[in-house]
Amino acid sequence: MNDIYYLQYLLYIAAFAVIMIANARMQSAYHRYRKIDTEKGYTGAQTARMILDANGLQDVAVQLSNGGSLSDHYNPMDHTVNLSPDIYYKTSIASVSVAAHEVGHAIQHKEGYGAIELRNRILPLANIASQLGWGVLFLGLIFSIRPLLMLGIAALCIVAVFQIITLPIEFNASKRALMQLESLAIVDEAEQADAQSMLKAAALTYVAALINTVFQILRMLLISGRRNND
């Protein structure tokens, strides 16, 4: 029984550590590369516009994001690339890398990249599962209601599936971003390695999120099994 307790807490600590390490690496890379300007001096907004136009996406607008730092995203509903102020206005390695990555999603959408369609189909269910999963788990744990506990675990499994589908989409968008930055000469050869490092650090956060969810599922299964035995 003690072994189950130890494993349960070990999974909790491991999940927390994975997220902290990934976020720290992302923040470290961002703060490093946001201070290094590219030789060509294109802003993130200019970079996004250049790549969009080069790929026949003149109908996609580039605009400021309403969120805070690193709230950058592509919105397929209104065909907009939304960039946070730092990314939009600045000429850093971080700015052009993040902008190119978000445009990578726009190119995926145009080309009908298969994983995106699958992700969009399960997105509403994943959003519901993400919002309600932990609440259901909490109620199941507090009141010792096993069906609620299992329902909460199922919700986390849906989130994990969504995260698994998201990984290749993000990696592919980064690959497209690097190709566009190189082919359009937005960054030089030396800067390409820095752009790649920046995008790898960002991708690590998605990997960490998946690992965290898997660890939490395993932890909840251990708790459920222990309570069932009790």
DSSP letter (8 states) at residue 40: S
Query: Which residue of the set 39, 102, 111, 182 is catalytic?
Result: 102
Q: What are phi and psi of 132, to 5 degrees?
A: -100, -20
Q: Is 189 a catalytic residue?
A: no
Q: What are phi and psi of 82, to 5 degrees?
A: -105, 120
Residue 111 tokens read as 């080309």
Question: What is the Cα–Cα distance from 99 to 198, expressed in whole angstroms?
Answer: 12
Place of tokens 């994983």: 115
* Nearest of 146, 165, 155 to residue 128 by alpha carbon: 155
Contact 9, 223 (CB under 8 A): no
Supply the residues annotated as catalytic.
Answer: 102
